[in-house]
Structure 1
Amino acid sequence: MSTFVLIPGACHGAWYFDDLVTALRDHGHRAYAYTLTGVAERAHLAHGGVNLDTHIADVCAALATIPDADVILVGHSYGGMVITAVADRMPERVDAMVYLDALVPRDGESCWQLVNDEQRQWYLDVDDTGYGVPALPFFDDRASAHPLPSLLQRITLTGDLSTVRRRDYAYALRWPGESPLRRSYERVRDDPAWIVHELDGAHDLMRDNPDDLVRILLDAAAH
């Protein structure tokens, strides 16, 4: 039995992983998805001070409540920023990592720096609060604005991921234009320390490639 901790991307909540969590539990694993502060059903906690550090603290606190388990961290999109930092801060708790069309940052980089110009333009189109990045029209109806500071703040990493047993990257091939995750994908594509999967789906891999994701996660859990 493995323990999965799943972190959604910008504007989305834990519900984004409902089907994936159910599938993992049906295979006998523990699986927990978390909504980050200020997003989705926790949007009432949004304010100008919610940043990347807030979201890292969210997940570190969650891991502290899961006793005696080496976890497999799973991050979608912006969630890659969060799981990278959590693994850096709690390396003794992380067994494997799976990036689902997600950002792979290095020390000192921000989400803003890693994406493309089209994505940056979306970030700047903030709502009336001045710090909320609105959910895009095609997002799930439960999606909310996302705290802009979390997308701008540079990540602080003190170590590396070499202690993690396994790292997987699932790359979505069917973006309608240039993928804002392409830089992250190219960063790991030829790295022998990573297992890279190219999937014939759009960014919402949970919708387009559910069976592939279950297979990838179950493989990541296998020792």
Structure 2
Amino acid sequence: MTTFVLVPGGWHGGWDYQPLTDRLRRLGHSVHAITLPGLEPGQAAQRPSGPINLDTHIDYAAEVVQSVPGDVVLCGHSYGGMPITGVADRMPERIRHLVYIDAFVPHDGESWWDLANEYYRSVVIEGARGDGLHVAAPPGLDPRAVPHPMASFLQEVRLTGAHARIPRRTLIFASGWDATPFREQYDRLRDDPAWETHELATRHNVMRDAPDALTAILTG
């Protein structure tokens, strides 16, 4: 049995992983699909009172990893690549396999804002017009999506390089959507012997659109 900790992307909660979690649990694995602080259901109506940034999300995901026994497969989708990198750098000995599901792979000092393309920066600017602190979910997302804390998109991640000691690192690139900010990252990492890479001809929500292929990669 493998223990999976799954970190969702922007505006989403652990519920976004359900097609994948259902499959992994049927195979007998232990799965923890988390919802990051500030992104709990109902946040559109009742926003958190305290500041939430990338460090908040790293701290929370690290607590989940620390709370489960043994080593884990730590996965992040999209924005989720930012906090999982911070967790992996903090406790590489607890991570068996680090998986980026169409997700950002930051270097020290980079933020989501640095890595996103112009399309997603414009989405954030437009979505933050309400109060400047929270980014409204873009049109077309699942109705459960909630405003995302602006600071977590802007804060730089601080890394020591310890995450590079994790024995297995995988990038899954979804090539079936036009607005992807991940093409250049995939082209760079697929030639890096330290990385295992996969290209799936699917849209960005790989968990929903290609759950069987994703399950096969994670359990392979």
The verdict on a shared fold, with TM-score over 0.5 as the criterion, is: yes
Distance 1:53 1:160 in 2: 17
What runs of 5+ residues in structure 1 fail to find an aligned partner?
none
The percent identity for this pair of structures is: 47
What's 1:209 paired with? Answer: 210
- Matched positions, count: 217
Q: CA deviation at 1:192?
A: 0.9
The answer to whether residue 88 in structure 2 is matched with residue 49 in structure 1 is: no
TM-score by length of 2: 0.94
Question: SS of the counterpart of 2:164?
Answer: coil
Q: In the superposition, relative to structure 1, how do residues 42 and 66 fare at CA in structure 2: closer, same or farther (>3 Å)?
A: farther
What runs of 5+ residues in structure 2 fail to find an aligned partner?
none
Letter in 1 for 2:114: Q
Letter in 2 for 1:136: P
**1:74, 1:100 within 8 Å by CA — same for their partners in 2?**
yes
Question: SS of the counterpart of 1:162?
Answer: helix
Question: SS of the counterpart of 2:60?
Answer: helix
Distance 1:48 1:130 in 2: 15
Letter in 1 for 2:171: Y
Instruction: Render the CA deviation track for 1:37-80: whole Å, top value 9, x for unaligned.
Output: 0014273453562100000011111122113x100000000000
Question: Could you tell which deviates more after superposition, 127-136 or 27-36?
Answer: 127-136
Question: SS of the counterpart of 1:41?
Answer: coil
Q: CA deviation at 1:119?
A: 0.8
**2:37, 2:56 within 8 Å by CA — same for their partners in 1?**
yes
TM-score by length of 1: 0.93
Q: CA deviation at 1:163?
A: 2.0
The answer to whether residue 119 in structure 2 is matched with residue 113 in structure 1 is: no
Distance 2:160 2:55 in 1: 14
What's 2:12 paired with? Answer: 12
Question: SS of the counterpart of 1:198?
Answer: strand
Instruction: Render the CA deviation track for 1:72-104: whole Å, top value 9, x for unaligned.
Output: 000000000011110000111111011100000
Aligned partner of 1:148 among 131, 150, 172: 150
Question: Could you tell which deviates more after superposition, 105-114 or 167-176?
Answer: 167-176
Report the aligned-residue RMSD.
1.4
Letter in 2 for 1:78: Y
The answer to whether residue 201 in structure 2 is matched with residue 189 in structure 1 is: no
Distance 2:37 2:104 in 1: 19
Q: CA deviation at 1:208?
A: 1.4
Distance 2:163 2:55 in 1: 19
Question: SS of the counterpart of 1:54?
Answer: helix
Letter in 2 for 1:75: G
Counterpart mapping for 1:1-223 below 5 A: 1-41=1-41, 43=43, 44-47=46-49, 49-67=51-69, 69-125=70-126, 126-177=128-179, 179-219=180-220
Q: CA deviation at 1:187?
A: 3.4
Distance 1:15 1:61 in 2: 19
